């Protein structure tokens, strides 16, 4: 949280329920079994970043959600920073890795926004979730269909429910 947020009483934990729900959704077994997302540190990061990107895309549709979007992104940064430190990445490298992770998240936002607009998530999924190595078409279809359904449910869910961590 920035200095202004601390000075003006911004609730640092406001996005915690939503962030926890994003992580829980990203860890769901079906992504890794039926969707063949690699069950590795990178694969889990990619899946959580994908779910987060879809939630951020939902929130960007409403200007009143700007603060929640920022808080949610800050939660992601804090969590990824802690995860890097936990696996033994030193201070000198953490900043560089965090910059790379934020760039990856930004790229995913654009790729998934474009994929949704085109009605075809498969190219974005292969590039961003599978890191260019497509699994069997059924796996990509599973993830694509699940994400499209998630996107539709998100659109029908109120911001208040989302902020409370009620992901559809």
Weakest mean pLDDT among 30-34, 65-69, 110-114: 65-69
Cα four-point dihedral sign 93, 129, 112, 71: negative
Average pLDDT over residues 45-59: 96
Residue 4 covered by a domain? no
What CA–CA distances, in Å, run from 36 to 3, 56, 93, 126, 132? Answer: 42, 24, 30, 11, 13
| 47: pLDDT strictly greater than 90 | yes
> Among residues 66, 50, 78, 80, which one has the least CA distance to residue 151?
50
pLDDT value of position 1: 45
Residue 104 covered by a domain? yes
pLDDT value of position 87: 66
| 148: pLDDT strictly greater than 70 | yes
Residue 72 covered by a domain? yes
Task: Retrieve residue 117's tokens.
Answer: 């607009």
Residue 8 covered by a domain? no
Residue-wise pLDDT tens digits, 70-129: 999 989 888 877 776 676 666 656 666 666 777 778 889 999 999 999 999 999 999 999
Task: Retrieve residue 145's tokens.
Answer: 């269909």
Average pLDDT over residues 52-65: 92
Residue 75 covered by a domain? yes
Task: Retrieve residue 140's tokens.
Answer: 């990509």
Please give the residue range of the domain that contains residue 39: 13-163
| 5: pLDDT strictly greater than 60 | no
> Among residues 140, 156, 148, which one has the least CA distance to residue 117?
148
Domains held by the chain: number: 1
* Distance of alpha carbon 92 from the chain centroid: 25
Residue 105 covered by a domain? yes
Residue 6 covered by a domain? no
Weakest mean pLDDT among 19-28, 33-42, 79-88: 79-88
Residue 61 covered by a domain? yes
Query: ∠ at Cα 86 (80, 90), nearest 5°?
Result: 90
């Amino acid at each position: 949280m920035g200095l202004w947020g601390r000075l003006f009483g911004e609730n640092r934990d406001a996005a915690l329920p939503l962030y926890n729900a994003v992580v829980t959704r990203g860890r769901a077994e079906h992504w890794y079994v039926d969707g063949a997302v690699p069950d590795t540190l990178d694969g889990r990061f990619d899946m959580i970043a994908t779910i987060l990107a879809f939630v951020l895309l939902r929130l960007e549709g409403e200007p009143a959600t700007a603060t929640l979007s920022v808080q949610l992104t800050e939660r992601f940064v804090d969590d990824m920073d802690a995860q890097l430190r936990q696996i033994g990445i030193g201070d000198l490298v953490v900043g560089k890795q965090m910059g790379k992770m934020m760039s990856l998240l930004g790229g995913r936002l654009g790729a998934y926004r474009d994929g949704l607009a085109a009605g075809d998530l498969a190219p974005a999924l292969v590039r961003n979730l599978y890191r260019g190595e497509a699994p069997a078409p059924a796996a990509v279809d599973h993830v694509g269909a699940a994400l499209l359904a998630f996107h539709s449910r998100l659109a029908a869910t109120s911001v208040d429910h989302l902020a409370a961590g009620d992901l559809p």
